[in-house]
């Protein structure tokens, strides 16, 4: 009996030393799904907009939270590497705009095609590439998704075609063709309040003959259904704030997409604070591992410099190199 009591005592003692958060998460009952209200969208050339309610499941909520935290940690790690001069040259920071790429991906199919302008790292991730591949592409070694030759703007994935370097330069022409031919295109205007150094208050927006709705981030399913029904193109405006502008602190305190999702999930009993903190810790560790991969991977050898290149302005790459594509 004494040995049995001693064994029970050790078990209870061990249980009491476990982290409190893990015990609470294991014993707590969470809601399977919650219905949220969505504010009405501003519409143009549309008879009706998306529903004013949406259902978020616990499974989807945790998945979206993890993906947004992964994007944030990836971007913050890339920013650190850029300041250390490990990532060189000009690149585009997309932290704060996680819901643009995530909201788009949640409403389309893997077989759909995506092309974007600046701030493409998040789209590259949601289209299926890993964080190590993306960071390695930024640092330059051959372990990157484009063998280190694309950099920030020329990342590609299946059915994703990277950046278009001209900000809005081709948009009006695309609007005209898509509207005239009733093409199943969704044009997403990410309004982060600034176009390069130009405030949106001093700029004009066009697209008068394409149906349009203005949303916070997550009405993509309505837009895709509209396009697939044969009604043609649709313009979808996202309202997100751009890191780096003068009101960044106010925006982060009131409109941070990760903070908003976290608050909604916790307040609706879809998840606990402790559970989400565990995700944060794991994501931070994964971003550190990805940075180690990106900085330790060898650069492409000199003889591969001309591979997959068909023309170099002012030079003849065929003299020393031969394409293997």
Nearest to 103 by CA among 67, 78, 70: 67
CA angle 93, 98, 103 (to 5 degrees): 140
pLDDT tens profile 166-218: 665 557 778 788 888 888 888 887 777 766 666 667 765 555 556 776 765 55
- Local confidence band at 283 (pLDDT 50, 70, 90 cut-offs): very high
pLDDT digits (tens, 9 = 90+) for 79-127: 999 889 898 877 777 887 888 889 889 889 999 999 887 788 899 999 9
Structure tokens at 50: 């998306």
Residue 6 DSSP symbol: H
Domains and their CATH numbers in the chain: 33-299 (3.40.50.970)
Q: How far apart are CA 173 and CA 169, in angstroms?
A: 9
- pTM: predicted TM-score of the whole model, two decimal places: 0.76
């Amino acid at each position: 009996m004494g040995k049995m009591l001693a064994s029970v005592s050790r078990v209870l003692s061990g249980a009491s030393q476990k982290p409190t958060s893990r015990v609470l998460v294991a014993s707590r009952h969470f809601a399977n799904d919650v219905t949220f209200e969505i504010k009405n969208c501003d519409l143009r050339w549309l008879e009706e907009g998306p529903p004013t309610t949406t259902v978020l499941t616990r499974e989807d909520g945790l998945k979206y939270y993890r993906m947004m935290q992964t994007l944030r940690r990836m971007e913050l790690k890339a920013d650190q590497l850029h300041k250390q001069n490990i990532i060189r040259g000009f690149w585009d920071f997309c932290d704060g705009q996680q819901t643009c790429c995530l909201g788009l991906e949640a409403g389309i199919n893997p077989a759909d095609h995506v092309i974007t302008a600046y701030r493409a790292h998040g789209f590259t991730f949601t289209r299926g590439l890993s964080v190590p591949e993306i960071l390695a592409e930024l640092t330059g070694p051959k372990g990157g998704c484009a063998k280190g030759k694309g950099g920030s703007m020329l990342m590609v994935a299946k059915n994703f075609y990277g950046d278009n370097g001209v900000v809005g330069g081709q948009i009006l022409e695309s609007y005209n063709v898509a509207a005239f031919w009733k093409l199943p295109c969704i044009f997403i205007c990410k309004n982060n309040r600034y176009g390069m150094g130009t405030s949106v208050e001093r700029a004009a927006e066009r697209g008068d003959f394409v149906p349009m709705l203005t949303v916070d981030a997550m009405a993509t399913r309505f837009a895709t259904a509209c396009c697939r029904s044969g009604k043609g193109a649709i313009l979808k405006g996202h309202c997100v704030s751009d890191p780096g502008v003068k009101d960044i602190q106010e925006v982060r305190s009131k409109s941070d997409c990760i903070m908003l999702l976290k608050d909604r999930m916790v307040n609706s009993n879809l998840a606990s604070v402790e559970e989400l903190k565990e995700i944060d810790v794991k994501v931070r560790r994964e971003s550190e591992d990805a940075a180690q991969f990106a900085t330790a991977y060898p650069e492409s050898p000199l003889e591969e410099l001309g591979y997959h290149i068909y023309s170099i302005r002012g030079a003849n790459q065929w003299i020393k190199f031969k394409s293997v594509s």
